[in-house]
Amino acid sequence: MGRITHPLGLDNTPNAALFADVDIFRARTRRWHTLKTMYRIMTVCTGNICRSPVGEYLIREHARQAGLEVEVASSAITDYEIGNPIDTRAGRILTARGIDPSGHRASRFVAEDFDRYDLILAMDTPHYLHLKQLARTEDDKAKIRMMRSFDPAMAGKNLDELGIYDPWYGQMRDFEYTTELIDTAARALIAGLAAEGDAA
């Protein structure tokens, strides 16, 4: 499918094109496997206390289970929660999965993070658009992906359909639902990295 113009003038592309960057992504992952270097991933949301830390911890856990050496961190596009721990509801869900998120403290994404990380995962459309605006180069832009673009069930979906909504205003069931969406994408991401390594 072709490129779709976003009303804000920024890219709004189907899943396949979000990965059109896909060739760059695959080339990088193969190079990572070849060089045996640490692949670095950052997840990004609004305050870095709900969605992005859940993504960080789940990606790290699935990478551990797959035997992949991956560095994972998370950050926010705002200063609202800087220094705060993970939301207690998100923390309870991770703890129930055997993951201890007690060491998490919210931080803000800065432009230099494009230099530190190989893949920047936006949790929702506003985060994606904000990161695209912060990107300094085409190489920076190519690192930005929607988290759910890795979910095979979302293949062919447009950017506006790939968002993971903020559960902060909701109840525990909203956190559980959001976690499942993130977990599905995290599993597929790590499986993809492992497969690229096998093909390298």
pLDDT digits (tens, 9 = 90+) for 48-65: 999 999 999 999 999 999
pLDDT digits (tens, 9 = 90+) for 140-197: 999 999 999 999 999 999 999 999 999 999 999 999 999 999 999 999 999 999 987 6
- pTM (2 d.p.): 0.84
Active site (annotated) includes residue 45: yes
Domains of the chain, first to last: 9-199 (3.40.50.2300)
Query: Which of 11, 45, 60, 118 is the catalytic position?
Result: 45
131 contacts 108 by C-beta, under 8 angstroms: no
Query: Which of 28, 97, 160, 166 is the catalytic position?
Result: 166
Query: Which of 21, 51, 60, 124 is the catalytic position?
Result: 51
Cα(118)–Cα(94) distance, integer angstroms: 25
For tokens 């085409």, the residue is 138
96 contacts 118 by C-beta, under 8 angstroms: no
Terminal Cα-to-Cα distance of the chain (whole angstroms): 27
